[in-house]
Amino acid sequence: MNKSQTIISACDIEAYFTGRLPAILDQIRNIVDIESPSGDEEASSAIADFIEEQVLEVGDRVRFERIKVAGIGEHVIVRAFRSSKPSVLVLGHTDTVHPIGSKEKNPTRIEGNCFFGCGIFDMKANIILIIETIKFLAGQMDLSLPPITCVFTCDEEIGSPSGRTIIEKEARLAPRCYVFEPSSEGRVKTGRKGTGLYKVAARGIPAHAGLEPECGANAILEIARQIEKISKLNDPSRGTTVNVCTIRGGTATNVIPEFAECTADVRFTSMAAAKSVDGAIRGLRPYDPRISLHIEGGINRPPLERSAEVVNLFAIARSRAAEFDYSLDETQVGGASDGNFVAALGVPVLDGLGVTGDGAHTLNEHILISDLAKRATLATVLLAN
């Protein structure tokens, strides 16, 4: 908010959200109890229904869109405060890694300052935080607000195969982007590594392991040699990690294996490093000339690099947080998000704006209730600016 437009202080905004905390907790419970694993179309639709119901309460200052993708689910777009100005982009996702029935193992519950639930930290509580922020801003009728476009994808946890196109389309029109992925112990994320996933498969020649092993070409042995070569691509000094994470092959204990494969997870801090590793993996050649190699995969998410524009965006956020005595710090992490796609287009991105918590992707997943009002206040002063 410009000084001439400020009608309520950050401290007053925090007081507002503190007063609304019981209602916010109820809404978080409601959305968390709608289990929505990636790829479950029915569950994704239920989450979209819930968000639409909440958004319709705002009135005509907000528009709602649903994009159905067969076999995936429904992406949701919320457009607030129409204007000729470019829209600030806000990102989140509705899918979780937890299969249906996981809430029986990690029930949605409050224990002291901790609010537990499957997907509550990553990132359903943050969807409610965004909705609450928009509801508050919509009530400030005499405040000139920048337009806001919120994109909630339903396939982020599986690499955003259909959500990426939607995100990039909206990002090309945005001056900046706020990503409400979980914070890192309260710290926002000014840098994320990019990701790549590869599958290396070997096809050899089967043979009887006792009678004529020399007639076979061992695919498992070939993959073992390739794994050693792939592992040597690790370069910690450049922030590059290459890890073989799965392996399978063979058919029986007395048969020289005809087939074997492994997968490799790749993380990098720059596109130069990404291209270097990509070229090395695609350039793998068999040690045994009787064996053929087949390589699939590639770079999934480019890195979110800590650019000067990102640093400036963080400085603004830290300054606004200080207005209500909220300490804000930054970090850079190895995991990627949909914000990586936006950053690759040259749009400044501030990630990890979600509420403080822990246990993402585990049955100990939770958020800290004491951080909710402060995080909502931060979101509000940033989106109103």
For the chain, the three-class secondary structure string (H helix, E strand, C coil) is CCHHHCCCCHHHHHHHHHHCHHHHHHHHHHHHCCCCECCCHHHHHHHHHHHHHHHHCCCCCEEEEEEEECCCEEEEEEEECCCCCCCEEEEEECCECCCCCHHHCCCCEEECCEEECCCHHHHHHHHHHHHHHHHHHHCCCCCCCCCEEEEEECCHHHCCCCHHHHHHHHHCCCCCEEECCCCECCEEEEEECEEEEEEEEEECECEECCCCHHHCECHHHHHHHHHHHHHCCCEHHHCEEEEEEEEEECCCCCEECCEEEEEEEEEECCHHHHHHHHHHHHCCCCCCCCCEEEEEEEEEECCECCCHHHHHHHHHHHHHHHCCCCCCCEEEECCCCCHHHHHCCCCCEEECCCCCEECCCCCCCEEEHHHHHHHHHHHHHHHCC
Q: What is the pLDDT of residues 247-265, one digit of tens each?
A: 999 999 999 999 999 999 9
- d(CA 135, CA 149) in angstroms, rounded, equals 14
pTM over 0.85: yes
Residues 339-357 as b or e (16 or more Cβ within 10 Å = b)? bbbbbbeebbbbbbbbbbb
Asked if 175 and 112 touch (Cβ cutoff 8 Å), the reply is no
Residue 29 has pLDDT above 80, yes or no: yes
Asked if 63 and 78 touch (Cβ cutoff 8 Å), the reply is yes
Q: What is the pLDDT of residues 73-85, one digit of tens each?
A: 999 999 999 888 8
Residue 6 has pLDDT above 70, yes or no: no
What lies within 8 Å, CB to CB, of 278 at 6+ separation is: 196, 266, 298, 299
Nearest to 352 by CA among 192, 149, 153: 192
**Stronger pLDDT, 5 or 198, i.e. the higher one:** 198
To the nearest whole percent, how much of the chain has pLDDT over 70? 98
**Stronger pLDDT, 266 or 143, i.e. the higher one:** 266
- d(CA 130, CA 114) in angstroms, rounded, equals 20
| pLDDT given at position 96 | 97
Asked if 334 and 193 touch (Cβ cutoff 8 Å), the reply is yes
- d(CA 117, CA 119) in angstroms, rounded, equals 6
| pLDDT given at position 1 | 43
Per-residue pLDDT band at 60 (split at 50, 70, 90)? confident
| pLDDT given at position 3 | 40
Question: Quick one: average pLDDT of 210-235?
Answer: 97
Question: Quick one: average pLDDT of 1-9?
Answer: 53
Q: How far is CA 190 from CA 173, 350, 363, in A?
A: 21, 6, 27
| pLDDT given at position 237 | 87
| pLDDT given at position 2 | 43
Peptide bond into 141 cis (omega under 30): no
- d(CA 261, CA 246) in angstroms, rounded, equals 8
Q: What is the pLDDT of residues 283-336, one digit of tens each?
A: 999 999 999 999 999 999 999 999 999 999 999 999 999 999 999 999 999 888
Angle at Cα 40 formed by Cα 352 and Cα 189, nearest 5°? 5
